[in-house]
Amino acid sequence: MPGQGEKLRKLVESGAHFVAAEAYSALTGRIVESVGFKAAYLGGHACSAFHYAVPDNGIFSQVEQIEQAARIAQAMNIPLIADADTLGETVADAYHFTRRYIQQGIAGIHIEDERNPKHSKYVNGLCSIEDMQARIDAAVRARRDMGADILLIARCDEMYSSEMGGGGTGSMEEAIRRGHAYGEAGADAIVFVPRPDPIPELAKAMRIPVCTLGFNIPGTAFTLSTGWGWVSAAANHLKMAKELMETGKVTSANFAFPEKYDLLGHPLYDGLVEEWAQKTGRPSRPNHAP
């Protein structure tokens, strides 16, 4: 049976564009699989905010991301791509964490070139091309030493300028130069953030597949879709919590969610319990707790 990394690689090599839909928990992973998505995606901001209530600005660790990614990957059969941030601070980190991702059944990771602390008020810039290549090379070595596949996606933030809160300068020429260098180091694909408008030109210039973060753009291999799920869940929870505090009840909640039972595997476990009860002469009933 092919591993999840191999499944994801075949999806990319098929040439048909696909969407890796947001899955920030085991249940949401089951949901995106159940509606037909071929892959899922765990963003760093989604995970840091939803599970740890901290920002994704360099304080959120790879240990924490791997912990949640493993739970999601093990709850579904489709490949999971995880945001691996900078994959640690050293090449030793990059090697170690790549091994950890592989061990937990993660199909792909993306590795970014912004220096920590990232996405903050600090004007940090990007790491050198040589350091990013070394980081990618360490991940490639870890994959080879493990004898298991994982798709390595380089994330280039050159088009994410300082004025927008990123570490790049906005140079198309530099983005192309970095993209080629990352591919030469062993990256299987590349994602440029955050704007959609330069991506068609960048995609034409690349020798490896280009994916996007949130945009479906012709000529790209796949889309990493995130933000709509966890933000909506948190906003709805806040709304209903205020409603409960102010009125003593929640009328806006949707309890009519029959798919819940199948998503949780309830029929399987109910069946096991019922079979055990019948075989051992214990009483059983036709219904279960809601």
Candidates 86, 20, 79, 22; CA nearest to 50 is 22
Candidates 184, 195, 79; CA nearest to 134 is 184
Count of other CB atoms within 10 angstroms of residue 51: 17
Q: How many helices (H) and strands (E) does the chain have?
A: 11, 8
**Dihedrals φ, ψ of 256, to 5°?**
-85, 80
- Report the distance separating Cα 267 and Cα 288, nearest Å: 10
Q: Using only the alpha carbons of the chain, give its radius of gyration.
A: 21
Strand, helix or coil for residue 97: helix
- Report the distance separating Cα 65 and Cα 214, nearest Å: 20
Counting other chains too, the contacts that 210-217 makes at CB distance below 8 Å and 24 or more residues apart are: 211/153, 216/17, 216/19
Please confirm, yes or no, whether 157 is among the known catalytic residues.
no
Distances (CA, A) of 244 to 241, 252, 253, 255: 5, 10, 10, 15
- Report the distance separating Cα 114 and Cα 92, nearest Å: 18
Q: For the chain, give the longest Cα–Cα distance.
A: 75
Active site residues: 56
